[in-house]
């Protein structure tokens, strides 16, 4: 806001209704030139609706949008682009199967009939330099990392003279190192007077990058605070509308009994992984994105089929793993990284998704006993406090946090569960549910269940785990006990 | 005025999402009205479309579509498609006819052989799709070519007349308790396929695979085995359907079953089955088959030229797919 508080964008009393209920109600907010304005709120608070209205994806039912003081209407994504509003989505809005340069100039290629590739290449180089990306514009987009792909999106926005860039969870799936780079870039953009609307679930990041933060709850703007003076508690309390006491409950203690032993686990991503994990232990895996943490979980569970070798022992007995069925039989459960792609049948109802892995609980033989299924599903919905419009509603319509509860429930209905592999269980989940998941992990560990936890949030690992193993380039570079936990020590092992 | 218009459209689509059979039902009524209006009258002055005779023939053809369409719905539920169903019919149909007319094998054995061949053809499809990850439409297209060719080779290009009376009775024009055998067969398959798709763990898993294969795999479902089973059932059912067509025609021709795979797909899609695990309600598929039966019958009756019929059928497929996709998006 050093640019003299010049207002770039102003939203006045924006409303949006879906099926009679308000997704946004009289939401007002301002974005100044050169400002990073954070939007925060639990899932379903109205952030994405607000964004979609700005991006021209959805219309508004009421209110006014002023761009540099002039009222504008944003009827389509194209109009948004012409007004200089660009969005960098977490999900890919680029095509992975064509090259970086082709993506940058998609729909605005040089040349009349044939694409002037030489010029496109040269221009791409220039554009990529703006965001400090040193990749060859002629490589396929799919060969870039998530962080690099985001940079390409930002580069594309800049090349189209974007005045306002909306970033939706830009750092949720990239490493600390890439996060630093991105923040540096954002600071550069600020100096050029670009206004940035920034959405992120991690409150820790706000102080590093934001100027002001606007908190939404239930479709209403609750308050806009200065990031410099607001505390984390201030923000969280406004988000959830109540006080939250302690963030990481940790009461469980591991036993001395080895539950899961892994020897020489190897495939093309990971090398010779050896681990011994105790009953009732919460064991964390730290590492940069792509270091092989997810692969370790997938290998142990049997979800990866290709080229694997190594031994997995449970309670001292070797388990022959050909598919997830073999590990599920001995009481293992697995929550993958991406619930939408890897866990849920999105258009099917909650009950369908919840009972999928253990259909044998609902009747012997080939038939399903519907009343038994309903009973178990209802019980689980109650005990996990899964919130939804109706039991018949597609799981797609649930908020991220409630979807994750459905995925977790899928394994919890198995009373033989004794090892639970969790990959990013709190990603894209709002603060309230995060805390519920932390409590659940602690409760499960107290009940003697062994938990293997992968998360990119170091504070989570340090708050929840008994031990943390650090994975670097497919190998374990160190294992720390709880009293040795230290952010710099862990980061050091991740990188060197 | 404009907003009012929008509002009423909106409610309509809401309804369609809630009751997906509604659209098909509506189409059924509309088609019937059109055909009643344009149908010629017979000597007695009755509307031909409405005669009992005509409806018997509609129901007969519907029976064949529906049995095949149930199995096709299962394949679609697993995210696949089977373009070889018609060729399976041509091949196994020819085998049955030849065995009946040129050998003295007992009828039950012949039927078991042909159903077995159908099953094997389906499993072959499944194997190619699962083992080599060939897209289902290509794999089954290839199989269709192979079986079509084999059918011609066995037939030597000629039709075979079926004189076995108990065969034509059981699968063709016979009756049981005053009800045509074909109706009994349809009833039997409706029940079996309803139970299989909606009431068993197998059906539940099939739906999960079409919806999200990766998620199904991560939930411990043996995706490969499930897919093979779905194609196997499709092959088996196709081999059964051809028994009913031979039974009614009294002969097996090498071109038998040609285009049937499309009828199955149309009927399944008209019945609200999507291409990624949506729908799959057996009763809706039965309704879809009936709509197709009425459409084909009515077009011939009001004198739509044969080639134009193909055009209209094609348009119906496209329309049905569009509606199904729209609905699944709304959901």
The complex's ipTM? 0.84
What's residue A3's pLDDT?
45
What's residue A439's pLDDT?
92
Residue with tokens 């607001």: A230
Q: How confident is the model at residue B243 (pLDDT cuts 50, 70, 90)?
A: very high
- Set of chain A residues whose Cβ sits within 8 Å of the Cβ of B331: 347, 394, 396
Q: What is the pLDDT of residues A352-363, one digit of tens each?
A: 999 999 999 998
User: Are the C-beta atoms of residues A284 and A329 closer than 8 Å to each other?
Assistant: no
Residue with tokens 């194209």: A78
B6 has a pLDDT exceeding 50: no
User: Are the C-beta atoms of residues A65 and A71 closer than 8 Å to each other?
Assistant: yes
Q: Is residue A393 less than 8 Å (CB to CB) from chain B?
A: no
Helix (H, G, I), strand (E, B) or coil at A66: strand
Distance between CA B69 and CA B84 in Å, rounded? 13
Q: Is residue B178 less than 8 Å (CB to CB) from chain A?
A: no
The mean of the pLDDT values for chain A is 88
Contacts of A134 (CB under 8 A, 6+ apart): A128
Nearest by Cα to B31 from B285, B272, B286, B294: B294
> Do residue B201 and residue A368 have CB atoms under 8 angstroms apart?
yes
Please, how many CA atoms are within 13 Å of residue A109, restricted to the half-sphere of its CB?
A: 14
Q: Which residue of A has its CA nearest to B14?
A: A19
- Strand (E) positions, A151-256? 164-168, 195-199, 212-217, 220-226
Distance between CA B220 and CA A425 in Å, rounded? 19
Q: Is residue B217 less than 8 Å (CB to CB) from chain A?
A: yes
- Please name the helix (run of DSSP H) or strand (run of DSSP E) that holds residue A39, with its range, or none: strand A36-40
Q: Which residue of A has its CA nearest to B213?
A: A342
Q: What is the pLDDT of residues A135-182, one digit of tens each?
A: 888 888 888 877 788 888 888 888 888 899 998 888 776 777 888 888
Q: Which residue of B has its CA nearest to A364?
A: B201
Report pTM. Answer: 0.76
Token reading at A423: 């990959």
What's residue A157's pLDDT?
84
Partners of residue A312 on adjacent β-strands: A262
Helices B201-211 and B223-249 sit at what angle, rounded to 10 degrees? Answer: 110
Q: What is the pLDDT of residues A260-317, one digit of tens each?
A: 999 999 988 899 999 999 999 999 999 877 789 999 999 999 998 766 788 999 999 9
Nearest by Cα to A159 from A101, A207, A229: A101
Nearest to A366 among B200, B207, B214 (CB): B200
What's residue B19's pLDDT?
67
A16 has a pLDDT exceeding 60: yes
Contacts of A224 (CB under 8 A, 6+ apart): A29, A212, A213, A214, A215
> Do residue B201 and residue A394 have CB atoms under 8 angstroms apart?
no
Q: What is the pLDDT of residues A56-113, one digit of tens each?
A: 888 888 999 999 999 999 988 888 888 999 888 765 577 888 888 888 888 777 877 7
Query: Structural domain boundaries of chain B?
Result: 67-330
> Do residue A352 and residue B219 have CB atoms under 8 angstroms apart?
no
Q: How confident is the model at residue B20 (pLDDT cuts 50, 70, 90)?
A: low
Phi-psi region for residue B3, left (φ > 0), alpha (ψ -120 to 50) or beta? Answer: alpha
């Amino acid at each position: 806001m050093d640019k003299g508080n010049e207002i770039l964008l102003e939203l006045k009393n924006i409303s949006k209704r879906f099926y009679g209920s308000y997704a946004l109600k009289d939401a007002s907010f301002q974005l100044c030139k050169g400002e990073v304005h954070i939007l925060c709120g639990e899932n379903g608070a109205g952030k994405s609706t607000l964004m979609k209205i700005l991006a021209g994806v959805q219309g508004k039912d009421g209110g006014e949008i002023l761009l540099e003081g002039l009222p504008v209407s944003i009827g389509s994504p194209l109009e948004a682009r012409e007004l200089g509003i660009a969005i960098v989505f977490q999900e890919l809005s680029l095509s992975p199967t064509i090259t970086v340069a082709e993506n940058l100039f998609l729909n605005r290629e040089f040349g009349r009939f044939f694409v002037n590739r030489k010029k496109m290449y040269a221009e791409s180089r220039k554009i990529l330099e703006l965001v400090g990306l040193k990749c060859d514009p002629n490589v396929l987009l799919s060969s870039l990392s998530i962080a690099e792909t985001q940079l390409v999106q930002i580069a594309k926005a800049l090349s189209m003279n974007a005045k306002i860039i909306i970033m939706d969870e830009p750092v949720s799936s990239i490493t600390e190192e890439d996060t630093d780079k991105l923040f540096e870039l954002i600071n550069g953009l600020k100096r050029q007077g670009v206004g940035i609307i920034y959405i992120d679930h991690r409150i820790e990041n706000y102080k590093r990058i934001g100027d002001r933060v606007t908190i939404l709850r239930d479709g209403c703007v609750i308050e806009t605070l200065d990031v410099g003076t607001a505390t984390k508690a201030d923000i969280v309390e406004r988000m959830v509308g109540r006080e939250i006491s302690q963030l990481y409950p940790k009461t469980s203690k591991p036993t001395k009994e080895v539950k899961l032993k892994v020897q020489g686990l190897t495939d093309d991503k990971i090398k010779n992984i050896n681990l011994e994990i105790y009953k009732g232990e919460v064991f964390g895996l730290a590492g940069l994105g792509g270091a092989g943490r997810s692969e370790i979980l997938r290998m142990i569970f049997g979800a990866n089929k290709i080229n694997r070798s190594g031994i997995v022992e449970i309670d001292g007995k070797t388990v022959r793993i050909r598919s997830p069925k073999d590990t599920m039989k001995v009481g293992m459960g697995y929550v993958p990284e991406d619930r939408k792609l890897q866990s849920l049948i999105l258009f099917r109802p909650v009950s369908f998704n919840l009972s999928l892995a253990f259909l044998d609980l609902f009747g012997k033989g080939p038939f399903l006993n519907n009343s038994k299924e309903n009973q178990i599903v209802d019980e689980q919905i109650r005990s996990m406090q899964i919130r939804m419009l109706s039991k018949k509603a597609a799981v797609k319509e649930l908020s991220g946090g409630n979807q994750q509860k459905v995925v977790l429930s899928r394994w919890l209905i198995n009373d033989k569960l004794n090892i639970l592999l969790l990959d990013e269980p709190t990603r894209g989940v709002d603060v309230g549910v995060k805390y519920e998941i932390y409590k659940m992990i602690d409760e499960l560990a107290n009940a003697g269940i062994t938990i293997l936890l992968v998360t990119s949030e170091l504070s989570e690992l340090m708050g929840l785990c008994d031990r943390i193993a650090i994975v670097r380039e497919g190998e374990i570079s160190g294992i720390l006990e709880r009293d040795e936990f230290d952010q710099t020590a862990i980061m050091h092992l991740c990188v060197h | 005025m404009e907003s009012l218009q929008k509002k009423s459209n909106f409610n309509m689509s809401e309804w369609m999402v809630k009751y997906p059979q509604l659209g098909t039902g509506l189409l059924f009524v509309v088609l019937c009205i059109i055909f009643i209006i344009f149908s010629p009258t017979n000597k007695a002055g009755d509307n031909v479309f409405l005669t009992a005779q005509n409806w018997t023939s509609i129901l007969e053809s519907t029976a064949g579509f529906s049995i095949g369409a149930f199995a096709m719905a299962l394949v679609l539920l697993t995210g696949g498609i089977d373009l070889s169903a018609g060729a399976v019919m041509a091949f196994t149909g020819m085998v049955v006819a030849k065995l009946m007319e040129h050998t003295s094998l007992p009828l039950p054995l012949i039927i078991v052989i042909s159903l077995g061949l159908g099953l094997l053809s389906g499993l072959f499809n499944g194997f190619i799709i699962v083992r080599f990850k060939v897209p289902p439409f290509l794999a089954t297209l290839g199989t269709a070519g192979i079986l079509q060719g084999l059918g011609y080779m066995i037939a030597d290009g000629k039709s075979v007349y079926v004189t076995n009376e108990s065969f034509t009775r059981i699968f063709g024009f016979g009756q049981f308790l005053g009800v045509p055998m074909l109706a009994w067969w349809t009833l039997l398959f409706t029940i079996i396929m309803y139970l299989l798709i909606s009431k068993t763990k197998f059906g539940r898993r099939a739906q999960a695979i079409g919806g999200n294969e990766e998620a199904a795999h991560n939930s411990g479902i043996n995706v490969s085995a499930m897919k093979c089973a779905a194609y196997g059932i499709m092959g088996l059912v196709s081999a059964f359907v051809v028994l009913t067509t031979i039974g009614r025609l009294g002969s097996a021709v090498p071109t038998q079953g040609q285009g049937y795979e499309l009828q199955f797909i149309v009927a399944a899609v008209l019945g609200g089955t999507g291409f990624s695990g949506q729908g799959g309600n057996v009763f809706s598929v039965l309704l879809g088959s009936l709509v197709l039966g009425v459409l084909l019958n009515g077009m011939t009756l009001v004198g739509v030229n044969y080639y134009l019929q193909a055009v209209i059928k094609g348009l119906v497929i496209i329309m049905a797919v569009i509606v199904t996709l729209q609905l699944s998006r709304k959901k």
